[in-house]
Amino acid sequence: MDDIQIKNEVEIMDQLSTALRLAEEAQKATETNAFMTNNLWILVAAAMVFIMHLGFSMLEAGFVRKKNVVNILFKNTMIIAIGLLIYWFVGFNLMYPGVNKGGWFGFSGFMLSPPDGGMTAAYADYTYWSDFIFQAMFAATGATIVSGAVAGRIKLTSFLLFSIVFVGLIYPITGFWKWGTGWLDARGFYDFAGSTLVHSVGGWAALAGIILLGPRKGKYTERGTKPIPGHSMPLAALGIFLLWFGWYGFNGGSVLSADPELVSLVFTTTSLAAAAGTVGAFFTSYLMFKTHDLSMVMNGILGGLVGITASADSVSVNSAVLIGLIAGILIPLSVSFFEKLKLDDPVGATSVHLVCGIWGTLAVAIFGQFDEGVGEFSDQLIGILACGAFSFVVSFILFYVIKVTMGIRVDEAEEIKGLDYVEHKMSAYS
């Protein structure tokens, strides 16, 4: 072998080595960019879910009477603070303990305990801290659902105590059953972003509170049901559109990556379901009440959003329209049903979150596109019943214990004056 041939072979080896090194660097850069994009999207989605708390505040403030606006805003302000702290202290490690896969309960200790490098244990698409803050925003949402349903007559301290237990215990345990790889996950139960695990769990808790609290004074009389309209439809409308905006983070963030195809599909199914829910409530409420009721239409939007939440990633856009349309139709039917039972819900939370949450979870089995053994009707029904029974029973017991110890309802004179004056010594309006 002459010197020229040796030199050529050395040059070829050097070129191959350089090419391999550049390919490895390009691969690392691609992985880094993908990680940064995924992590950023999760944080943006968490911020959008945070905006939902403003949406709930405005919606509930608009749907209550003027004399209770400060109280509802105060509760929603405290819920996000309490929710973050209690989820940091105990809730996150109950919901995602990393142990007892396929089980009923798991716990990995109090407060946060990030793995080495700050990465999540199950996947490396975003950091542990991003995982926590995104899930914490979800946790606080459940307690907000209860807030509106019991508005106008519940004691502030009693509600805040309930919220601590709900976010710290009730919500994370049912969440673990599916999202923490518990027994419902092992069965094949499917709930993409929380039609059951967030919305109907909160709705069942709200129902327990409504039953034990009783209706607002003057709501049900010998002459029949007396409407108690909210004081500000503009505030309520503002809340609705803030919630619709935040739902893009709620559902879109639940992809758990910035996958362009899947995130864009979720945005589309979410939007179409909300729009169809609006139309479904529009026609049904007019046929039932012979008037164009804005509150029904706005709750139709929320019903469509709740209904699609369980399957936004796994149904066609045509199916999303049907899911949202049926959810919107259910809203006025459900509101009328609860009124006949004399269960007073000032904001319609039980109709929106409980009824449409159940429908959305069942819709997974009807419209979802899965491999065999995932999202089957029997498993979806078992998940609904199990989460509903746990949330309702524990919430009922908790509310009852509070009722017989410190009381849950303000007295009649205080209710007539308004909670703003009684609980806060201030008014929302001069």
Render pLDDT for 209-242 as a digit per residue (tens, 0 to 9).
Answer: 999 999 999 888 888 888 899 999 999 999 999 9
How many CB atoms are closer than 10 A to CB 118? 12
Cα(28)–Cα(16) distance, integer angstroms = 18
- pLDDT at position 383: 97
Of 4-13, 212-221, 330-339, where does mean pLDDT reach its minimum? 4-13
Percent of the chain with pLDDT over 90: 80
Regarding the domain delimited by 42-424, which CATH topology (the fold level of the hierarchy) does it fall under?
Ammonium transporter fold (1.10.3430)
Question: Which of 350, 429, 411, 428 lies closest to 71, judged by CA?
Answer: 428
Q: Say if residue 316's pLDDT is above 90.
A: yes
Q: What is the mean pLDDT of the chain?
A: 91
Give the position of tokens 């500000």.
Answer: 232
Question: What does the pLDDT look like over 86-143, one tens digit per residue?
Answer: 999 999 999 998 888 999 999 988 988 876 655 554 556 888 899 999 999 999 998 8
Give the amino acid at 240: I
Give the amino acid at 152: G
Question: What does the pLDDT look like over 259-315, one tens digit per residue?
Answer: 999 999 999 999 999 999 999 999 999 999 999 999 999 999 999 999 999 999 999
- pLDDT at position 283: 97
Residue 425 burial (CB < 10 Å; 0-12/13-18/19+)? exposed
Q: Say if residue 10's pLDDT is above 60.
A: yes
pLDDT band at 371 (very low <50, low <70, confident <90, very high): confident
Of 32-36, 187-191, 398-402, where does mean pLDDT reach its minimum? 32-36
Residue with the larger pLDDT of the pair 7 and 123: 7
- pLDDT at position 258: 92
Q: Say if residue 16's pLDDT is above 90.
A: no
| Residues 162 and 402: beta-carbon distance below 8 Å | yes
Cα(347)–Cα(149) distance, integer angstroms = 6
Question: Which of 203, 148, 142 lies closest to 175, judged by CA?
Answer: 142
